[in-house]
Structure 1
Amino acid sequence: MHEPNQEWYFVERPEGEPTLDCFELREGDVPTPRRGELLVHVRYLSVDPYMRGRMRDSASYAEPWAVGDVLQGGVVGEVVASESPAYEAGDLVTGRATWSEYAVLDADDAAPVDPEIADLPAYLGVLGMPGRTAYFGLLDVGEPRPGETVVVSGAAGAVGSTVGQIAKLNGCRVVGFAGTDEKTSWLTDDLGFDAAINYRTTDAYRAALDEVAPDGVDVYFDNVGGPITDAVFTKLNVDARVAVCGQIAHYNDEEVPTGPRKLPLLIAPRARVQGLLVSDYATRFGAAREQLETWVASGELDHRETVVEGIAKAPDAFLGLFSGDNVGKQVVEVAGPSRGEDHSP
């Protein structure tokens, strides 16, 4: 192909909160797929909080980006050329690729997309990595039991909103923390949460929890950290389980403040705190996807995507994660349908 290909490069390591200076949009050639690969016209790309960790020059569970690398993330796109018998031109797929208009995917790591089940952006959210994170993090780490109280921080994000709904499907009382009245209303009115706390309009988190979770907290799914987590730790019941998925309150800190030591609060309730990485469950992704698709198709699992239009806005969409711009999953619409037709329902 002779079309130009716009790509986003990582050009500067941030100190504290990232800025637009960390990114540079360049024009290159459309890549050529090799054996076992797919050339995909990217329709949507994902921006996710964990990417902030890849901007650091230090080892973590995700390999750090080198300055000068093309940025990478989850994508949904249409196959333009296939060097694999598993897919053909015109197929819709999802996988990991570069932040670019055209990208090469390893066919073995790609998965098909069914627009009859959900719109394409959902495959980067509830039916993608965030949905799987919620599924395994709650069910395997949180182990919710009917009648228990589940508290979710970052509850209006892609992971948290899915966690709360799965907890409701398991017969739990669910309380979510979110940062606007629009978000808390979405949680209670549309997603079925029993209560939601706007953490921006109150800092009396312990008192708020006393009101909406009077019987204490049995499962805490933590996406945020910070003062919210400090407050929840004071409300943990005996045999409580804490699933630590993210700590977005600290991702831009150069030095994480220690504050009061909270570990003594785990002794009396004999609470279990466990971190989770969704990649540990890779052998079970197929089963999780099947269940999540069933819930979405039946209407038992709702979802929402905040779509930022244009590849030029990808860094803005990423930075918006840290100011809470998104409701549900934050995605970037890179391109419309390649052949003048709409694959979405």
Structure 2
Amino acid sequence: MTESNRRILLASRPTGKPTAENFKLVSAPLPAPGEGEVLLRILFLSLDPYMRGRMNPGKSYAKPIEIGDVMEGGTVGRVVRSRHPDFAEGDVVLSHSGWESFAVAEGASLRKLDPSAAPVSTALGVLGMPGFTAYAGLLTIGQPKPGETVVVAAASGAVGSAVGQIAKIKGARAVGIAGGAEKCAFVRDELGFDAVVDHRAADFPAQLKAACPDGIDVYFENVGGPVWDAVFPLLNDFARVPVCGLIAQYNDAAPRPGPDRLPGVMREVLSRSLLIRGFIQREFSDQRPAFAKEVAAWIASGQVRYKEDIVDGLEAAPEAFIGLLDGRNFGKLVVRVAA
């Protein structure tokens, strides 16, 4: 094989919003698999908001990417060379290989995919980490009950779209928050949410209140910032708030100006008996078999729909990722690295 391995590295750490200069595209010789490993040609690369945090130094729930290392991310790849008995050339697998066109992976870390069962890109979206995040976070922490109101931010995205549809399956009323008329129409008309509110509207807080006349029982937090400010006064007693992401704040280089509102928030958490619980999806890994079975069945029955936003070419990943942090994607953002 005479091809080279194209890789995108973290060239520098961003201050605030990432720029193209924070990434570097390089070519390197193809890696060779060792015993128990396989060489993969990457077909699809997942772009997700959590990657912004990996670009920062300091302690977090996962180790940061070092300067000069390949940007990390979930991938779907095809085996082109195998030194593992369970994998053969041509097998399509789910891996975590990062922003590169070829990768060596340990066979034990891979999961085979069946291209005849579903488009393999869905292993990075509705049938992968984002879908599982929605499933586990909503059902374990949110625990929606029939007749309750479930609100989810970033409702047209990979996680939010699944949250609202699962809430509907469980008998709850689903209210989505999205940005722009096109995304709002998709959430309402294609995904079947009961109501959707545009967070870009000048009277967004008033519209959200009107969409939730009985208050909010479950709020699935993906955004933070002004969206949280509008949601918080509407939370009912005993409301549950799974905190999945805070994308509106990921590019902040310093605390936002203004008074310290934490004492007031904590007073309301106490007086209204609110449950606010941050989580990382891997905490609920024992639920993966149930997730795979149930969500596949819901997709087959039409109860869960999904949308992918696919961009072509590894070199497009940095700009697409920057756009993701600005909310420019529409659906699960995936890079098609190879056909």
Give yes or no for TM over 0.5.
yes
% identical aligned pairs: 46
CA distance in 1, matches of 2:220, 2:293: 23
Q: What is residue 316 of structure 1 aligned with on the other side?
A: 319
Matched, 1:251 2:246: no
CA distance in 1, matches of 2:300, 2:93: 19
The secondary structure found in structure 1 opposite 2:207 is helix
Contact in 2 for aligned 1:296/1:302 (Cα 8 Å): yes
Tell me which moved more, 16-25 or 83-92: 83-92
Matched, 1:306 2:305: no
Any stretches of 5+ residues in structure 2 without a counterpart?
none
Q: What is residue 161 of structure 2 aligned with on the other side?
A: 161
Matched, 1:241 2:245: no
Q: What is residue 208 of structure 2 aligned with on the other side?
A: 209
Q: What is residue 23 of structure 1 aligned with on the other side?
A: 23
CA distance in 2, matches of 1:73, 1:80: 20
Q: What is residue 284 of structure 1 aligned with on the other side?
A: 287
The RMSD of aligned alpha carbons is 1.3
Shift of 1:95: 1.5
Contact in 1 for aligned 2:38/2:81 (Cα 8 Å): yes
Q: What is residue 3 of structure 1 aligned with on the other side?
A: 3
Shift of 1:103: 1.1
Q: What is residue 342 of structure 1 aligned with on the other side?
A: none
Shift of 1:225: 0.3
Q: What is residue 341 of structure 1 aligned with on the other side?
A: none
Shift of 1:206: 2.9
Q: What is residue 56 of structure 2 aligned with on the other side?
A: 56
Shift of 1:88: 1.1
The secondary structure found in structure 1 opposite 2:132 is helix
The secondary structure found in structure 2 opposite 1:265 is helix
Give 1:259-278 correspondences, 5 Å limit: 259=259, 260-261=261-262, 262-278=265-281
Letter in 2 for 1:266: V
Distance 1:296 1:85, change over 3 A: farther
Letter in 2 for 1:193: F
CA distance in 2, matches of 1:35, 1:281: 31
The secondary structure found in structure 1 opposite 2:196 is strand
CA distance in 1, matches of 2:161, 2:335: 19
Q: What is residue 231 of structure 1 aligned with on the other side?
A: 230
The secondary structure found in structure 2 opposite 1:267 is helix
The secondary structure found in structure 2 opposite 1:98 is coil
Contact in 2 for aligned 1:234/1:265 (Cα 8 Å): no
Tell me which moved more, 289-298 or 85-94: 289-298
Contact in 2 for aligned 1:117/1:293 (Cα 8 Å): no
The secondary structure found in structure 1 opposite 2:97 is strand
**TM-score of the superposition, structure 2-length normalised?**
0.95
Contact in 1 for aligned 2:240/2:274 (Cα 8 Å): yes
Shift of 1:169: 0.6
Q: How many residues align?
A: 335
Letter in 1 for 2:240: R
The secondary structure found in structure 1 opposite 2:108 is helix
Q: What is residue 99 of structure 1 aligned with on the other side?
A: 99
The secondary structure found in structure 1 opposite 2:14 is coil
Alignment deviations for residues 42-89 of structure 1 (CA, whole Å, 9 cap, x no partner): 111011111110111111112101101111110011111122222211
**TM-score of the superposition, structure 1-length normalised?**
0.94
Q: What is residue 179 of structure 2 aligned with on the other side?
A: 179
CA distance in 2, matches of 1:198, 1:236: 19
The secondary structure found in structure 1 opposite 2:334 is strand
Contact in 1 for aligned 2:136/2:287 (Cα 8 Å): no
The secondary structure found in structure 2 opposite 1:68 is coil
The secondary structure found in structure 1 opposite 2:283 is helix
CA distance in 1, matches of 2:292, 2:189: 26
Shift of 1:205: 3.3
Any stretches of 5+ residues in structure 1 without a counterpart?
337-345
The secondary structure found in structure 1 opposite 2:268 is helix
Q: What is residue 339 of structure 1 aligned with on the other side?
A: none
| Structure 1 runs of 4+ with >6 Å offset | none
